[in-house]
Structures are given as structure tokens and as C-alpha cells.
Structure 1
Amino acid sequence: MLHIDLYAEITCPWCFVGLHRLDKVLREHFSNVPVDIRHRPVVLLPDAPAGGLYIPDLLRSRYGVTDPKTAFARPEAAARASGFGLDLSRQLWTYPTQPAHALLLAAGERGTQHQLAIALTDAYFLDARNIGDSDVLAGVAVHHGFDRREARAIAQDSAAPQQVQEEVARSAAAGIRSVPHFEFGSGVAISGGRSEAEIASAVREALRRS
């Protein structure tokens, strides 16, 4: 069994690329290897308001980027290189992710965590959904081991942000500084926008060491 700890933020473009590349690498090169993927939350904008933040304004104020297309180009090109589409101009708002991470933590107890993470990431980037909205989250989670009322209750639980923050603090204490961050066991870890070849190499090394 290959155990993978995946530290990621749902609204991070490079995490979208990393999740899909990991799935592609495992499917194409390690289909005979049983895998357990555990998602660890990282929250990049903990104070994002419920109504969301307009990404062009965020890029301008935080990074001095006046043309969002320049920031979008690299992750979009990386997605194309791996054969899947990503048009970041479709989703120009970023939303609070604590409710979505709370659902992912709950999904870990029922074996649907990785599938739900992919679905939430796709809902945000590909369908331009507000993944801070409990009804949107419930509509996604209902296909991954939850009933709608249960999923909505988890997303709306006032204790959820604190539970997520405790997990985020553990991620920070573990030294996670860049996402996506992959830990494959046996001391093998990689971070950032890694290629399919680099991900495959890390998996092979982890399997060799184990």
C-alpha cells in the first residue's frame, strides 16, 4: 500500500494541476499499486469574506499584477501539457474554503475523501461554483457518500472553522510552505507545480524504499 499525504488548497490553481496530474500518473503508471491518499487542509486566504474576493483586485493589491492573464498563463499551460483544460478567466472569485475542508475531513472517515477533493476542485475551477456556499457543497458531496442535509450541516457547523484551523496549524507545524505538497512515505516528498515525470519518479522512489 502506498500512502500519500496531499496538502492542498481547493482554490489554488497549482493544486488543481497537481491533483489531476497525480491521478493521471497513478492511473497510467501504477494502476497495480493500492493507494491511500489522505488530504490535509491548507487555507491560503483564511479571512476571505463570505461574498468572496475578486481575483484581479487581489492580484493587483497583493502582487502588483495588473493583467491577470499573466498570472494565469503558467498553470493553464501546465494543465494543457497534461491533457486537461483549465481556463482561469472562468472563475474570477475566490471564496472561503473552511466549509469545504470540513467536508473533506468528514469524507476521510468514509473513504471518499480524494474523489470529493477532485469534485470540489473541479466545481470551483471548471464550473465556476461558489464552493463557500453550503448548498453548492451539499450538491457536490451528495455524490460522494453524504446525504444533502448532512453535508449542509457539516458545512454550516460553527465549530468547523476551528477544526479546520487545527489541521491547518498541524500542516504549518510540519513545515508545509508550498502547495501542493506531496508526501509519499519513506521520507519522499515534493512540493509545487511538479511535472508528471517528477511525480512518477517520487512514487517509484517511495515504492523502492518501502
Structure 2
Amino acid sequence: MTLFTPSSPERLRVDIWSDIACPWCYIGKRRFEQALATFPQREQVEVVWHAFELDPSAPAQGPLSVRDGLARKYGRTPEQAQEMLDHMTGVAAQEGLDYHFERLRPTNTFQAHQLIQLAAEQGLADAVEERLFAAYLTQGELLGDPEALVRLGTEAGLAAEEVRAALESGRYAQAVRQDEAQAQALGISGVPFFVLGGKYGVSGAQPAEVLRGALEQVWNETHPAPLTLLGGATPAEGCEDGQCAVPQPDTADTRG
């Protein structure tokens, strides 16, 4: 697991807590990508994904449809819950995402987060996040099924045997729990949640322009621009680096 640390002097680190079961997290991912695409220092931004489970007690395969589960959770009628899903589908479409809640199979995401931890060690965390989001929210894959995770992990570039072994052994379970404990320590109660430069937080799937502004603000505060010399001349004599260079007087004999 990559521990949460501030940015280095040369880079800007962005830590993102999210859950595959969170439709707003996929929207937030796409909006952050849009913000990053127009950020001049984008090549110097390091993105680190962290695990967050909205419902750690969820079964591997939920008994209710997402519509009925939403209605029960918020005390709405099935029709009202469907209106909420239709609204979110419309918002996702504006970001180029094709949500199909009628296919969605509610599940537990603990093993999916372990897969992302494995992917992070190989520089493939973003690719696996993307594949799992699309599988869950668009294609109706059951992410509580380990064999589905093996197949999806290989589609994102991982080796099938390595994925299967990691999931069977639970090798990354503790890393997921550490991410979740860190979120709790930071007071993060909802996702997506972005931490920029180790000290600035942005909550929710903010518009791309808001995220871009946050990137600019944190970059400027943590990476101040060098001073521009005024006066139109090269630097004159002065003292620096703990010493002064004193010109020697002309010792030539000028007597007639």
C-alpha cells in the first residue's frame, strides 16, 4: 500500500478516496481527468487511489435491485427512487458515461479494493479503477464474484494467476483496512474525496473547473515561482552563500 504523504518539492500529490459502488465517484474521476488535462503541470501530478467502502456489511450479491435498495434506504417510493437514478444517469451522460442502473448488481466491494491495491504496485491502479467502474455501473458485472475480478483485472493489464492468488490469500486486505482507517482519521465520511498536497481537501464530484482551480491554487502555494529580476541589468556585486567576494584593489605601482 502507498501511504498518505505530502507532495515532494517537484511534484503535486493528489490522494483520492473512492468506492466502486459509488456512482458519483466515477463522475468525479472523469471530472478530475478533465481538470488535469488542461493543467499545465499535469505531468508533475501524482495520483494515488485509496479504498473506501460505503457499506462494508454488504453481501457479495445484494437481494434488492439498486432502485428498491435506494427506496428503502431513503424512505422513498420505487418511482421516486427511479427518478433519482434517472437524474444521476443524466449527469453521468454529460461526462460521457453510460450508466445502466437496471443492470447494476449491488455487491460488496472489499475484494475489488484489494485488486486495486495489487494494481497500484504495478502502476495500473487508474486502469483497474476505470475497468471496474465501467463493469459495475455500465455492464452489470457482479464485482463480488472473484472470477469476475480475475477476468476484469486481466483486461486491465494484470496477470490472471497473480490476481487469483492475491484475492485467495487476502494479501491486500490489511492495506484496504489501513486506507479506510486513514479516511476515518482525516474525517472523510463520503466519497469521492480529494486531498491535494497532503493538506487541502475537496469533497464530492466537483465540476472540472472547480477541481482545476484547486490544482492551480495548491500548486502555486506549494511551488512558488522564482523571482524576476528588475532593472534590465545583470546582478551586481553582493554577498551570498555565507560569504562576500571583495574585489582586490589594483596593486600596480602608479608612481611617476
Same fold (TM over 0.5): yes
Unaligned runs of 5+ residues in structure 1 are none
| Amino acid corresponding to residue 79 of structure 1 in structure 2 | A
- Tell me, yes or no, if the aligned pair for 1:79 and 1:85 is still in contact at 8 Å: yes
Alpha-carbon distance, 1:128 to partner:
1.2
Matches within 5 A, 1:59-98: 59-66=70-77, 67=79, 68-82=81-95, 84-98=96-110
Distance of aligned partners of 1:109 and 1:207 in 2 relative to their CA distance in 1, 3 Å threshold: same
Give the structure 2 partner of residue 48 of structure 1: 58
Unaligned runs of 5+ residues in structure 2 are 1-10, 223-256
Alpha-carbon distance, 1:147 to partner:
0.9
Alpha-carbon distance, 1:107 to partner:
1.6
Give the structure 2 partner of residue 166 of structure 1: 178
Q: Distance in 2 between matches of 1:58 and 1:160?
A: 29
Distance of aligned partners of 1:90 and 1:56 in 2 relative to their CA distance in 1, 3 Å threshold: closer
Q: Distance in 1 between matches of 2:128 and 2:171?
A: 21
Larger radius of gyration: 2
Among all aligned residue pairs of Structure 1 and Structure 2, give the percentage whose two residues are the same amino acid: 26
Give the structure 2 partner of residue 5 of structure 1: 15
Give the structure 2 partner of residue 156 of structure 1: 168
**Number of residues of Structure 1 aligned to a counterpart in Structure 2:** 209
- Tell me, yes or no, if the aligned pair for 1:186 and 1:209 is still in contact at 8 Å: no
The TM-score, its normalising length taken from structure 2, stands at 0.74
Give the structure 2 partner of residue 142 of structure 1: 154
Give the structure 1 partner of residue 190 of structure 2: 178
Q: Distance in 1 between matches of 2:171 and 2:198?
A: 34
The TM-score, its normalising length taken from structure 1, stands at 0.89
Distance of aligned partners of 1:186 and 1:155 in 2 relative to their CA distance in 1, 3 Å threshold: closer
**Alpha carbon RMSD of aligned pairs, Å?**
2.0
- Tell me, yes or no, if the aligned pair for 1:186 and 1:206 is still in contact at 8 Å: no
Matches within 5 A, 1:10-29: 10-29=20-39
Q: Which structure: greater helix fraction?
A: 1
| Amino acid corresponding to residue 62 of structure 2 in structure 1 | G
Residue 191 of structure 1 pairs with residue 203 of structure 2? yes
